[in-house]
Structure 1
Amino acid sequence: MTSRQQALEILRHAGRIADEQIDLGEVALALALLDHPVADLSAYRRHLLALGEELGRAVASGPDLPSLAGKVAALEQVLAGTHGYAGDSETYTDLQNANLIRVIDRRRGLPVALGILAMVAARANGWTVMGLNFPGHFLIRLDHGGGRQILDPFHGMLPREPHELRDLLKQSQGLEAELSPDHYAPVSNREVLLRLQNNLKLRHLSSDQPGKALVVVEDMLLFAPDHIGLWRESGLLNAHLGNLSAGIAAFEHFLRLGRDRGASARLLDNTEALLRQLRSRLN
Structure 2
Amino acid sequence: MTPRQQALDYLRRLGEAEDSDIDVAEAALALAVLDHHTDLTPYRAHLAGLGADLGALMQDVPDGLPDRVAALGRLLAQHGYAGDSETYEDLQNANLIRVIDRRRGLPVSLGILLMSAARAQGWDMLGLNFPGHFLLRLDHAGGRQIIDPFDGASPRGPRELRDMLKQTAGLESELTPDHYAPVSNREVLLRLQNNLKLRHLSTDQPDKALAVIEDMLLFAPQHIGLWRESGLLNAHLGKLTAGIQAFENFLRIGEARGASPQLLDHTRSLLKQLRGRLN
Tell me which amino acid in the other structure corresponds to 2:211: V
| Residue 58 of structure 2 corresponds to residue 59 of structure 1 | yes
Kindly state the Cα deviation for residue 171 of structure 1 after the two structures are TM-superposed: 0.3
Secondary structure of the corresponding residue to residue 168 of structure 1: helix
What's the counterpart of residue 13 of structure 2?
A: 13
- Equivalences for residues 112-123 of structure 1 within 5 A: 112-123=108-119
What's the counterpart of residue 228 of structure 1?
A: 224
Distance 1:25 1:164 in 2: 28
Kindly state the Cα deviation for residue 37 of structure 1 after the two structures are TM-superposed: 2.1
6-15 or 194-203: which moved more? 6-15
Taking structure 2 as the reference length, the TM-score comes to 0.99
% identical equivalent positions? 71
Secondary structure of the corresponding residue to residue 148 of structure 1: strand
Distance 2:157 2:33 in 1: 36
* Residues 198-248 of structure 1: CA deviation (Å, up to 9, x unaligned): 000000000000000000000000000100100000000100000000000
2:265 to 266, 269, 272: 269
* Residues 137-171 of structure 1: CA deviation (Å, up to 9, x unaligned): 00000000000000000000010010000000000
Asked if the contact 1:28–1:193 (Cα under 8 Å) also holds between the matched residues in 2, the reply is yes
What's the counterpart of residue 107 of structure 2?
A: 111
Tell me which amino acid in the other structure corresponds to 2:153: M
* Residues 38-80 of structure 1: CA deviation (Å, up to 9, x unaligned): 2x10000000000000101111231x3x11011101111112x
> For this pair of structures, how many residues does the alignment match?
279
Distance 1:175 1:238 in 2: 37
Kindly state the Cα deviation for residue 180 of structure 1 after the two structures are TM-superposed: 0.3
Tell me which amino acid in the other structure corresponds to 1:217: I
What's the counterpart of residue 74 of structure 1?
A: 71
Secondary structure of the corresponding residue to residue 34 of structure 2: helix
Asked if the contact 1:128–1:143 (Cα under 8 Å) also holds between the matched residues in 2, the reply is yes
Secondary structure of the corresponding residue to residue 221 of structure 2: coil
- Equivalences for residues 1-283 of structure 1 within 5 A: 3-38=3-38, 40-62=39-61, 64=62, 66-79=63-76, 81-283=77-279
Taking structure 1 as the reference length, the TM-score comes to 0.97
Distance 2:139 2:50 in 1: 19
> Structure 1: which 5+ runs fail to align?
none
Kindly state the Cα deviation for residue 3 of structure 1 after the two structures are TM-superposed: 1.4
Cα RMSD (Å) of the superposition? 0.8
Distance 1:118 1:3 in 2: 25
Distance 1:61 1:214 in 2: 50
Secondary structure of the corresponding residue to residue 35 of structure 1: coil
Tell me which amino acid in the other structure corresponds to 2:131: P
Q: Kindly report structure 1 stretches of 4+ aligned residues shifted beyond 6 Å.
A: none
Asked if the contact 1:86–1:156 (Cα under 8 Å) also holds between the matched residues in 2, the reply is yes
Kindly state the Cα deviation for residue 189 of structure 1 after the two structures are TM-superposed: 0.2
Kindly state the Cα deviation for residue 250 of structure 1 after the two structures are TM-superposed: 0.4
